[in-house]
Amino acid sequence: MFKLKIIVLFFIFFQLVNYNVFAKFSNEIIVSKIDADLFYSDDERIKFIKELIEQGNTEEALEKLYEFIEVVKKNNETKLIIEGNILLADIFRENGDYKKSTEIFNSIIPSISNDYENLQYIYFKKGGNFQLDSQIDSAKFNYEKAISFNKNIEGKEDLKAKIYANLSGIFYLNGDYESAIENFKIAADFQKTLGNKDIEAGILNNLGGVYYMQGNYKNALEMFEQAFNLVGYGQSDLQKQTRNTSFINMAYAYSGLKNYKKAFEYQDKFFSLNDSLQQELKYKEIAEIQSKYSLATKENETEIEKAKRRDAEVLTYGLGFAILVLLTGIYFLYKLYKLSKKNHALQISQEQLLNQNKIEKIKSDSQAKILVATLDGGLEERKKIANVLHDNVSALLSATNLHLYASKKKLKDKLPVEIDKAQNILEEASEQIRDLSHKLISSVLLKFGLGVAIQDLCEKSSNSTILLKSDSKNIERFNQNFEIKIFNIINELVNNILKHSQAKNGTIKLEQLNGNLQIIVFDNGVGFNENEIEVKSGIGLSQIKARIKMLNGLLNIKSTNEGTRIFISVPIIY
């Protein structure tokens, strides 16, 4: 349950990063730019300095800002002195010097005792500095101080909403869930008034998260559903991310309500949308690279055009410059030729890289097919051997034993001791044959199916150091070869848990859903690094991946030092 809550917190508090308020309530804040909506100045010099900051020219911005403050101090322009110092404190805050930022804010406060809007903004920013510096009590004091000015300020709902949202985070960190809920509701109401549906949805996700931590899964689900309804199926990045967060939150809420069917449904929606978002991110990165390349090409073309114009101007001054113009033209032609060759070589390298990637993919697919074919061949051989042992050898041993039993009846008192010994040997041989047949192919699997076989596997694998449990839903009889392949995959995962995880508990969940067999295997062990495992001794993992790939299935592995969770989904073969 502890691990589940940690995973839930990651998603339910992720949304706040986008609103310049505290993310995940882990004493972190994400601030990338001066918040123009909260701090505004109509002075053109401050606007110019803000533009420099937006462009990433922080050093130049600081130099200009210090010059500006010196000028307005000499002119005794109180309003601009305050605005300049607020901007300076924000810059120190962005660059991680929270102590210096707070000192500057404190120096401003005595001179603006009646300027309630700036006072509220400053106390809000001070609260953020203290929270970033892990001084939670000081952060709480400053947020509450900022709220105390509400009665003197009309409007500014956006700033007020952010103050209440951050204060909610403080209450959450202190374990005061009721106060956290109350403040989140106020923040959501402000955003609703402003019509900021996307931000309101993020706050509702956080509110649902607090309900979830209380164990109030019904209210949590209601908040997550409201958040989803606000963003709907909007296509902006923030709406997609909020929808994705709502899906996984609803999955956990339904899980808390023990409605596992709905939980799996929203989990599938989350995985599907999450994969899509990751793909979009890759496309955006590619587009950004292409854009930069196009910009560089245009700049190069512009330079060439300038050179041509210069050449034309030189020609107008007379024949005396003809040789110089000719040499310049030859020089630029040479440069263009070299650039053309370079671009051509780059294009060839790119094509070679693409072809190499295609070859590697074909090689990987071929290796997977060969591995699966080898496993399938071994499977068929084991089935044949098991059938021969069970149907033929075992039957012959039983028949021989019956003949000896009949002979004992006839001989009665003249019974040689060798007959008893022969019977004992036959019984031992029969038992070994049965054990060997079971090891080749599970008799429980063949007789009763996958669900019962996994339950039997868990019971036999459990011991004094680890408890394995199984949970099967809607599991019926499938194609025999399909059942054997799935059983072998799960058996390999169980062996990994027993050998490497150092876990005390493990669970295997099976569910038939929409024509797919979904398998979740998780434990509370030490976890592993998938890449290191594959490099060192990833034969078992490679076999599992190859088998799932040939079954057209999906494999997802998440492993931390708190445990491992493996999700598998494959189309069922009946």
Confidence band of 17 (pLDDT split at 50, 70, 90): very low
Span 311-361, pLDDT tens digits: 666 666 667 677 877 777 777 777 777 776 677 667 766 766 665 665 555
pLDDT in the model for residue 524:
93
Q: What is the pTM of this model?
A: 0.44
Mean pLDDT of the 175-183 span: 85
Residue 354 CA to residue 305 CA, distance in Å, equals 34
Span 431-474, pLDDT tens digits: 676 666 555 667 778 788 898 989 988 998 899 899 999 999 88
The residues pairing with 464 across neighbouring beta strands, listed in sequence order, are: none
Find the length of the chain.
574
User: How many CB atoms are closer than 10 A to CB 179?
Assistant: 16
Span 261-294, pLDDT tens digits: 888 888 888 887 787 777 665 555 555 555 554 5
What is the sign of the dihedral through the CA atoms of 483, 486, 489 and 491? negative
The CA–CA distances, whole Å, from 32 to 21, 29, 390, 432 equal: 12, 10, 71, 70
pLDDT in the model for residue 358:
57
| Identical fold between 2-229+237-250 and 445-571 | no
The residues pairing with 147 across neighbouring beta strands, listed in sequence order, are: none
Superfamily classification of domain 2-229+237-250: Tetratricopeptide repeat domain (1.25.40.10)
Residue 153 CA to residue 120 CA, distance in Å, equals 9
pLDDT in the model for residue 15:
36
Q: In the predicted model, what is the mean pLDDT of the chain?
A: 76
- pLDDT greater than 60 at residue 33: no
Confidence band of 492 (pLDDT split at 50, 70, 90): confident
Residue 7 CA to residue 297 CA, distance in Å, equals 46
pLDDT in the model for residue 386:
60
Q: Out of 60-74, 379-393, 509-523, give the one with best mean pLDDT.
A: 509-523
Name which residue leads in pLDDT, 105 or 385: 105
Domain ranges of the chain: 2-229+237-250, 318-441, 445-571
- pLDDT greater than 80 at residue 91: yes
pLDDT in the model for residue 364:
56
Confidence band of 300 (pLDDT split at 50, 70, 90): low
Share of the chain above pLDDT 70, in %: 71
Among residues 24, 259, 251, 37, which one has the least CA distance to residue 155? 37
pLDDT in the model for residue 535:
46
Ordered DSSP codes for 315-372: HHT-GGGHHHHHHHHHHHHHHHHHHHHHHHHHHHHHHHHHHHHHHHHHHHHHHHHHHH
**What's the fold here for domain 445-571?**
Heat Shock Protein 90 (3.30.565)
pLDDT in the model for residue 36:
44
